Amino acid sequence: MIAYLDTSVLLRLVLREPGALEDLRSSEALVSSELLAVESLRTIDRLRLHGALSPEEAASRRATVTEWLEAVDLVLLQSPILARASEPLPTPLGTLDALHLATALVWRDRIRQTIVMATHDGGLALAARSFGPTEPIRIRFESGSRSSISRPQGASSTGTANSAATSSRLRRLR
């Protein structure tokens, strides 16, 4: 399964919050926007500045983010993604979530495969679902104590061009 990671998923893992999507490590490939790094590291720094994380805890969490980023294929924010994120959407969505959704859609169109969109954000999940059955994005969004993602029915088992390298990086995270 190829999983698109929203920042909420990585942060829940890194901050060891309840309901983290632990089974991401079994994905054959992980992909996200380059926003993943900035959003994650800014959140950790903000938590440090507000006293929610000690400097040592923040350094440890930053290192964990860096390890995860090495296992994720990061998609650059380029014109097609910016244009797609600027288009009208059927549901309200902020700028960063629109960029994540656009990145997932553009990536899916590029590789011509079903991907799983992993998010803990209800608004982003709703927006992605609004593309309907003709848009093969599958989302598992659960607000309970345990969330998970699973391979959609009929999903291809082939990954990106970098799936062998990504699989190797994911094994290091296990």
Tens-digit pLDDT profile for residues 35-74: 999 999 999 999 999 999 999 999 999 999 999 999 999 9
Q: Which helix (H) or strand (E) holds 163?
A: helix 163-173
Q: For position 168, what pLDDT does the model report?
A: 46
Cβ atoms 17, 163 nearer than 8 A? no
Cβ atoms 139, 6 nearer than 8 A? no
Give me 69's structure tokens: 């980023």
Task: With a cut of 80, say whether residue 156 has pLDDT above it.
Answer: no
Q: How many CB atoms lie within 10 A of CB 27?
A: 26
Q: For position 131, what pLDDT does the model report?
A: 67
Can you tell me the distance from the alpha carbon of 51 to that of 73, in angstroms, rounded to the nearest whole number?
A: 32
Kindly state the average pLDDT of the residues 110-115: 83
pTM of the model: 0.76
Task: With a cut of 90, say whether residue 10 has pLDDT above it.
Answer: yes
Q: 128: closest CA among 95, 93, 152, 160?
A: 93
Q: For position 117, what pLDDT does the model report?
A: 83
Q: All domains of the chain, ordered by start, with CATH?
A: 2-140 (3.40.50.1010)
Q: How many CB atoms lie within 10 A of CB 41?
A: 16
- Residue matched to tokens 């490939």: 29
